Amino acid sequence: MDDVLPTLLAFGSDGRLLAGAIGVVLLLIGARLYSLAVMAPGFLLGVFATALALDEYGRKFDELMRLGILVVAGSIGAFISTRIEQLAVRLCGSLVVAATTHAILPLVWPKAPWFAAPAAGFVGLLLFPSLYRRLLPLITSAVGAIAIAWAASAETNLLLISGLTVLGAAIQLGTGGRSRKSE
């Protein structure tokens, strides 16, 4: 038991072990745990940003202190994510639909009016919350895959991230990985 803590601290003090563990849970059962699916992006963002800051400015902290700082920063990010959940889902939908329309519409309708993308964004703002629940297995798998890739120091390996996303979505959909939260 005396050997476990130093080993855990050595691997966990940069946040990669923590992010990887959350990534595996999100990849496999993220849509079933809706609260985790809402909190995890904020938690991971807090861990990622703090890990970068600690690498730059926190060299004087020992491993246990670094791990504690990462957990606190991640917890703050998770708390913020739960508070702005509906706003974040709606803004995400608006941006996804507007950006997709902006990219695809010129191919289909070259003389599309300037307001087509903002109008599509408004539609996304209204409709995405219902789509978000249906796409939750894919979304949680993608976030989990990104966390796992970062934990493995392979955050630029798009093939790994894509493969894990597809694998995770297939596992979640195959096991009925829909959210059980009702609205």
pLDDT tens-digit series, residues 54-105: 888 867 788 888 889 999 999 999 999 889 988 877 876 787 678 778 878 8
Question: Can you give the pLDDT at residue 86?
Answer: 83
Confidence of residue 5 (pLDDT cuts 50, 70, 90): low
Cα 136 from chain centroid (whole Å): 11
Total structural domains in the chain? 1
Computed over its alpha carbons, how large is the radius of gyration of the chain?
19
Q: What per-residue string of b and e applies to 55-86 under the rule 16 or more CB within 10 Å gives b?
A: eeeeeeeebeebbebbbebbeebbebbeeebe
- Domain annotation covers residue 130: no
- Domain annotation covers residue 145: yes
- Domain annotation covers residue 56: yes
Question: Can you give the pLDDT at residue 183?
Answer: 43
Confidence of residue 182 (pLDDT cuts 50, 70, 90): very low
CA-based nearest residue to 21, from 151, 127, 140: 151
- Domain annotation covers residue 147: yes
Which class for 127: exposed (0-12), middle (13-18), buried (19 or more C-beta within 10 A)? middle
Instruction: Give the range of the structural domain holding residue 20, as residue numbers without chain letter.
Output: 4-84+136-174
pLDDT tens-digit series, residues 97-156: 787 788 788 888 888 888 998 999 899 889 888 888 888 898 888 888 888 988 898 888
- Domain annotation covers residue 89: no
- Domain annotation covers residue 54: yes
- Domain annotation covers residue 92: no
- Domain annotation covers residue 117: no
Question: Can you give the pLDDT at residue 98?
Answer: 83
